[in-house]
Amino acid sequence: MGIHDGTGDIDCSNMGLTSLDGCPEIIEGTFICSDNFLSSLEGGPTITGNFDCSNNILSSLEGAPRKVAGNFNCSGNRLTSLIGSPMKAKGSFNCSDNLLLSLKGAPRKVHGLFDCSGNILVALEGAPIETGAFDCSNNRLATLDGAPDEVHSDFLCNGNRLVSLAGTPDFVHGNFSCADNCLENLKHGPVEVSGNYDCSDNSITTLKHTPKHIGGVFDCAGNTMLTCGMVDSSTSSVITAPLPGNFQEAV
């Protein structure tokens, strides 16, 4: 690490590193070791800021810091498990674009975004119980059982194999997207969505279980058995196509 003594941020990204040997034990700031050839985090530091080990060849998080006061980013590796990850993350936790089969080992609470998109997950057991936002899009999920109980911002589960919305939180305080799945109805979905609601590109035949309150745009385009487009729920005005007559009653 040369002259670095751990009293400030350290950025050793894109330097061809294969090991963290020689790293200060404690770094009073952010540590970035992304875009290298690291296969292990052994020898890594305890930090007070963000930790970014994205875009390496990690297959394990053993050696990662136990607590992260900022963001933790391990995206773009070869991880199949989150065992060894920090137990607490006060910022966001990004484990997207790996080979994750399970979320076991994930922190129980994430204040920011928990992003596990772009993996090969078939279940959400082990996910945090509370997050700021939650993104499990583009996996192989057939169910949302195990999803967080509380989500304070967006909830994104698009691009999976969902046949039911069971497991979603009742209240989504941001945007909700279940687009590009195998849904035939919106039963068991959230009852209130503060932002936009996107259920496009499914096989939905009825809007009977549409949330009672949607704060933004409702998009149900691309459902071949349903005539609808995008609706601004604040005015109930149709943006792209007419909705069935029961829509205004549903929302």
Which residues have a Cβ under 8 Å from the Cβ of 194 and sit 6 or more positions away? Answer: 172, 173, 174, 215, 216
Number of neighbours of residue 110 by Cβ within 10 angstroms: 29
| pLDDT given at position 22 | 86
Q: What are phi and psi of 159, to 5 degrees?
A: 70, 35
Question: Nearest-CA neighbor of 105 among 116, 120, 113?
Answer: 116
User: Which pLDDT does position 28 carry in this prediction?
Assistant: 87
**What is the model's pLDDT at position 175?**
98
* Closest C-alpha to 116, from 138, 143, 132, 142: 138
**Cα dihedral 177→183→188→189 (10° resolution):** 10
pLDDT at 178: 98
Burial class (CB in 10 A: 0-12, 13-18, 19+), 222: middle
CA 226, 195, 150, 65 dihedral sign is: positive
- For 132-168, the DSSP string reads EEEE--SS--S--TT--SEESS-EE--SS--S--TTS
**Domain definitions of the chain by residue range:** 1-116, 154-251
Tokens 């899009």 belong to residue: 137
**Structure-token pair, residue 97:** 């674009």
Beta-carbon contacts of 2 under 8 Å, excluding residues fewer than 6 positions away, are none
pTM of the predicted model, to two decimals?
0.88
Instruction: Render each residue's pLDDT in the chain as its tens digit; 251 residues.
Output: 545 566 788 999 999 999 999 888 888 889 999 999 999 999 989 898 999 999 999 999 999 999 899 999 999 999 999 999 998 889 999 999 999 999 999 999 999 999 999 999 999 999 999 999 999 999 999 999 999 999 999 999 999 999 999 999 999 999 999 999 999 999 999 999 999 999 999 999 988 899 989 999 999 999 976 655 444 444 433 333 334 333 433 33
Residue 40's CB: how many other CB atoms inside 10 A? 18
State how far the alpha carbon of 233 is from the alpha carbons of 34, 56, 97, 201, in Å.
Answer: 42, 44, 34, 20
Structure tokens at 183: 């849904």
Terminal Cα distance for the chain, rounded: 58
Q: What is the pLDDT of residue 8?
A: 82
